């Protein structure tokens, strides 16, 4: 079973995805080049952001056609300021266009999967509700975390449904498309350029309470198996993190099919 992943992030996903995949497929070997793929291999490539550089998806599909060694091609991107459906359609259009240009036919058995991180990988990571069971708080909650939790408690509510940032009166207001001046008027203490930036800040404050440091360069904590298992349990026991559940369900179906 061979995998090819195209991910948006150049730091977090490149480090976290291999760990998550290893928990489900321990026999996977990670390779750098398409020609090195033999059996039970996985190649993970970063697009360096969205949209991906022109021709990147097409180039990867050309490799799929040339080498004929990829069983599953995953394209994983953030939704950020878009709805899940909007970003999915965008990616699907680019994928279908590239497949047509390359000339993919029924002889190519690769299966294609579009994974939308709604709105980003930090949104998914906010779904770990087990930290208080596993770790002791290292300090009192920061004032920022208190404000965030009053605005939207991610331990109770679905992190994927969280809007941009707190307002003065605590109401949920999607302020991401407003100007900096408007954001300050809405939330003088906390304002963010994008939803993804807010979710990243929330995750940092949440983890810091338990003595865990998170950065995109060093996302080690969310790659750990206990963390991964907590996210899987959140998906299983609630209807939360629907976009992560799509990803996990596909991986589980592949695992059952082949192993």
Gyration radius of the chain over CA positions = 19
25 within some domain? yes
Query: Whole domain around residue 84: which residue ranges?
Result: 3-121+240-258
Contact 161, 238 (CB under 8 A): no
95 within some domain? yes
CA dist 217 → 14, 171, 194 (Å): 10, 32, 19
- What's the maximum distance between 2 C-alpha atoms anywhere in the chain? 60
225 within some domain? no
Q: Mean pLDDT, to the nearest integer, of 132-145?
A: 74
Q: Is the pLDDT of residue 233 over 70?
A: yes
Q: Say which residue the tokens 């069971």 belong to.
A: 133
| pLDDT, tens only, 151-202 | 899 999 999 999 777 766 666 667 766 776 776 666 667 878 788 999 999 9
User: Are 114 and 131 part of one and the same domain?
Assistant: no
- Sign of the CA dihedral with 148 first, then 154, 159, and 161 last: negative
Determine the Cα–Cα distance for residues 116 and 89; give it in Å rounded to an integer: 10
169 within some domain? yes
User: Are 82 and 109 part of one and the same domain?
Assistant: yes
User: Are 182 and 149 part of one and the same domain?
Assistant: yes
| pLDDT, tens only, 49-71 | 888 887 999 999 999 999 999 99
User: Are 100 and 150 part of one and the same domain?
Assistant: no
233 within some domain? no
Q: Of all helices (H) and strands (E), which one includes residue 4?
A: strand 3-7
Q: Give the three-class secondary structure for 223.
A: helix
pLDDT of residue 188: 64
Q: How many domains does the chain have?
A: 2
Q: Is the pLDDT of residue 259 over 60?
A: no
User: Are 63 and 143 part of one and the same domain?
Assistant: no
User: Are 141 and 208 part of one and the same domain?
Assistant: yes
């Amino acid at each position: 079973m061979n995998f090819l992943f195209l991910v948006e992030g150049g730091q977090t996903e490149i480090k976290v995805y291999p760990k998550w995949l290893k928990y489900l497929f321990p026999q996977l070997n990670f390779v750098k080049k398409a020609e090195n793929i033999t059996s039970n291999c996985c190649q993970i490539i970063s697009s360096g952001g969205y949209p991906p550089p022109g021709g990147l998806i097409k180039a990867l599909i050309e490799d799929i056609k040339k080498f004929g060694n990829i069983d599953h091609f995953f394209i994983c991107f953030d939704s950020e300021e878009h709805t899940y459906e909007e970003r999915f359609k965008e990616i699907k259009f680019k994928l279908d266009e590239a497949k047509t240009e390359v000339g993919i036919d029924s002889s190519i058995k690769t299966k294609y999967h579009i994974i939308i991180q709604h709105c980003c990988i930090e949104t998914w990571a906010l779904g770990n509700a087990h930290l208080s069971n596993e770790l002791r708080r290292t300090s009192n909650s920061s004032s920022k975390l208190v404000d965030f939790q009053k605005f939207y408690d991610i331990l109770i509510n679905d992190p994927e449904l969280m809007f941009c940032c707190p307002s003065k009166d605590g109401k949920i207001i999607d302020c991401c498309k407003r100007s900096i001046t408007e954001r300050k008027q809405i939330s003088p203490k906390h304002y963010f350029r994008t939803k993804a930036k807010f979710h990243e800040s929330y995750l940092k404050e949440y983890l810091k309470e338990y003595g865990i440091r998170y950065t995109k360069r060093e996302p080690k904590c969310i790659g750990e198996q206990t963390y991964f298992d907590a996210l899987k349990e959140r998906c299983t026991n609630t209807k939360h993190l629907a976009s992560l559940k799509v990803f996990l369900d596909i991986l589980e179906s592949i695992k059952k099919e082949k192993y």
